[in-house]
Amino acid sequence: MDLNAGFDLSQENSVSGLPLPDAFVEFLKENGLDSSAYAGAETIPRYIRLKPGCESQLMDIETELDCKLEKVDWLPGFFSIPSHIQIASTNAYRLGKIYGMDAASGAAVMALDVTFGDHVLDLCCAPGAKLCMLADLLGNSGSITGVDVAQHRLAACRTMLQKYRLGDQCRLFVADGTTFSLVPVGSHTDMKLCSIDGQDMDIFREWTSKRSWKDRKDAAKKKVGTSTQASEEPLEPELIFYGRDSGVVGAQRTKLFRTVDDNEISTSGYDKVIVDAECTHDGSVKHIQKFEYWGWSTFQRRVLDAKRTQNLTCLQAFSSSGPFPLRPLSSRRGLALPAARPVFDLGAVCLYPPGLVPVCRPLALLTNGFRLLKVGGSLVYSTCSLTVSQNEGVIKLFLLTNPSAELMKIDAADKWRCRCGGIARTVRFDPKTSQTSGLFIAKFTKLAC
Ligand SMILES: C[S@@+](CC[C@H](N)C(=O)[O-])C[C@H]1O[C@@H](n2cnc3c(N)ncnc32)[C@H](O)[C@@H]1O
């Protein structure tokens, strides 16, 4: 079957080495991107991350993969292998000794600089490569809260945590990251763990894949509720996994799901937050390359669907007067800022009432992730898009509307194979410079104000 039937593939784009569809070439042009970034994608190595503790098995893994594992000198624990080597069917992978993870993604996690005991929020966590790396770095300290809106992807994340035996400190919520509001377990001032010997149905017992009678009843109630609920109502978070030491076992449901106000968040919010936002994935050259096999006809739906891209890049809607028509960044401290809590509409461009700031999903995710950060904590925003509108554009608008946010220097980046982003202190990985997929990284801290 010709998977590309009826789909225009550009003849002129042989420069990229791939017959890129015209619509994608147009997308690249609109965003000022050079299609030659996709040239020679197959020469970019594949990266693997070694499970900590498996260092002594390196030679056995090399023998099984039948290739040398080249140490990535700027990123501890990462190795490059030739791009044609497949790892999914190997024992090393199946037994959880290695992860498939691009080095640029590893850099985004390192930028967060997690330290012992941190409570970390991963706001777009599925399928979970970064979450697993965070869990490896934290060991048996602190906690990780993973949130994703896609239930099936989050289920894959849970499987990954179980395979690598990393779930003890983690909890996973199916929830909308633009409205998620739960702080780390144990940071509620009034939360006490209860003995679970009694029959109190309101207390979390050890997690099991079998759902309790109470959970089934709650889910059935929720189903009835959602059929009558107005669609704008935020999705109620659903806890689909929690580990033994995540602080959930023994906690009361009512307390765990209690939301706190922004004042309380400044002290009991997360120490670290990562927002690896949903984006157009155009920088993920290996992902783009896969459409050679999947068929370019699915590319339109999966990557370029107009409604989806508008949600992600709605800043473009203002391109007639330039992408940032409001005010220059330098004057942000002197601005009359719009209301702190805008109304987000994931389906369309929204306007803040006084300042006409366009809101797209990445900005909504970043804003909410930052709201959940405690004062003095740090947040990493990353996307695998090469466009300005999903990266520097989002950052500019975010800084305009969040006076307590300050861009931080990413210290580790001095050693990385990357370049500066379009705003000082941000960094960009791209195939040509870094021999990795494209990735944009910005790091913020929250000031007391
Ligand atoms: C780039 S992927 C994240 C990859 C992940 N961090 C990892 O390392 O494996 C973006 C994720 O954002 C999720 N997403 C999109 N919109 C969301 C929303 N409103 N709230 C939470 N997650 C969302 C998608 O389902 C997708 O899994």
Tokens 């702190």, residue located: 340
Question: How many domains does the chain divide into?
Answer: 2
Taking a C-beta distance cutoff of 8 angstroms, is the pair 373, 267 a contact? no
Sequence-separated (6 or more) residues with CB below 8 Å from residue 290: none
Last residue of a domain, one of 239, 257, 275: 257
Q: Is the CB of 147 under 6 A from ligand 1?
A: yes
Whether residue 196 sits in one domain with residue 158: yes
Residue 361 lies in a domain: no
- The interface predicted TM-score (ipTM) is 0.99
- Residue identifier of the C-alpha nearest atom 27 of ligand 1: 126
d(CA 327, CA 205): 52
pLDDT value, residue 11: 43
Whether residue 139 sits in one domain with residue 240: yes
Whether residue 250 sits in one domain with residue 129: yes
Q: What range does the domain containing 201 cover?
A: 125-176+189-257
Q: Is the CB of 281 under 6 A from ligand 1?
A: no
- Residue identifier of the C-alpha nearest atom 13 of ligand 1: 124
* Terminal-to-terminal C-alpha distance of the chain: 61
Residue 439 lies in a domain: no
Q: Is the CB of 146 under 6 A from ligand 1?
A: no
CATH code where residue 60 lies: 3.30.70
Residue 390 lies in a domain: no
Whether residue 162 sits in one domain with residue 242: yes
| Amino acid making up residue 217 | K
Q: Tell me the CA–centroid distance for residue 409 and ligand 1, in Å.
A: 25
**Maximum C-alpha span of the chain:** 71
The reply, when asked if residue 122 is annotated as ligand binding, is no
- DSSP of 219-248, one letter per residue? HHHHHHHHHHS-TTSPPPPEEEEE-TTSS-
Residue 166 lies in a domain: yes
Whether residue 201 sits in one domain with residue 147: yes
Q: Is the CB of 127 under 6 A from ligand 1?
A: yes
Pairing of strands 373-383, 439-446: antiparallel
d(CA 441, CA 392): 10
Our answer to whether residue 384 is catalytic in this structure is yes
Whether residue 225 sits in one domain with residue 145: yes
d(CA 419, CA 414): 10
- Using left for φ > 0, alpha for ψ between -120 and 50, and beta otherwise, residue 374 falls in beta
Whether residue 134 sits in one domain with residue 95: no
Last residue of a domain, one of 257, 292, 313: 257
Residue 410 lies in a domain: no
Burial of 85 from C-beta contacts in 10 A (0-12 / 13-18 / 19+): middle
Phi/psi at 10 (nearest 5 deg)? Answer: -70, 130
Whether residue 96 sits in one domain with residue 129: no
Residue 83 lies in a domain: yes
Q: Give the nearest ligand 1 atom to 364 CA.
A: 19
The candidate with the shortest Cα–Cα distance to 169, out of 249, 105, 106, is 249
Residue 119 lies in a domain: no
The reply, when asked if residue 305 is annotated as ligand binding, is no
Burial of 4 from C-beta contacts in 10 A (0-12 / 13-18 / 19+): middle
- Residue identifier of the C-alpha nearest atom 15 of ligand 1: 278
Q: Tell me the CA–centroid distance for residue 137 and ligand 1, in Å.
A: 21
Whether residue 92 sits in one domain with residue 216: no
Task: Annotate 310-348 with b (16+ C-beta within 10 A) or e (fewer).
Answer: bbbbbbbebeeeebbebeebeebeeeebbeeebebeeee
Whether residue 153 sits in one domain with residue 237: yes
Residue 271 lies in a domain: no
- Tens of each residue's pLDDT in the chain, 449 residues: 333 333 344 444 444 566 777 878 888 888 888 887 777 677 899 999 999 999 999 999 999 999 999 999 999 999 999 999 999 999 999 999 999 999 999 999 999 999 999 999 999 999 999 999 999 999 999 999 999 999 999 999 999 999 999 999 999 999 999 999 999 986 555 556 666 665 666 889 899 887 766 666 776 666 655 544 445 566 789 999 999 999 999 998 888 898 889 899 999 999 999 999 998 888 988 778 777 777 777 777 777 666 666 566 544 333 333 333 333 323 333 233 333 333 332 223 333 444 445 568 899 999 999 999 999 999 999 999 999 989 999 999 999 889 999 999 999 999 999 999 999 999 999 998 999 999 999 999 999 97
The candidate with the shortest Cα–Cα distance to 148, out of 276, 272, 249, 30, is 276
Residue of 125, 170, 360, 384 marked catalytic: 384
Whether residue 251 sits in one domain with residue 154: yes
Last residue of a domain, one of 224, 257, 290: 257
Q: Tell me the CA–centroid distance for residue 248 and ligand 1, in Å.
A: 23
Whether residue 252 sits in one domain with residue 137: yes
Pairing of strands 98-100, 46-50: antiparallel
CA–centroid distance for 299 within its chain = 21
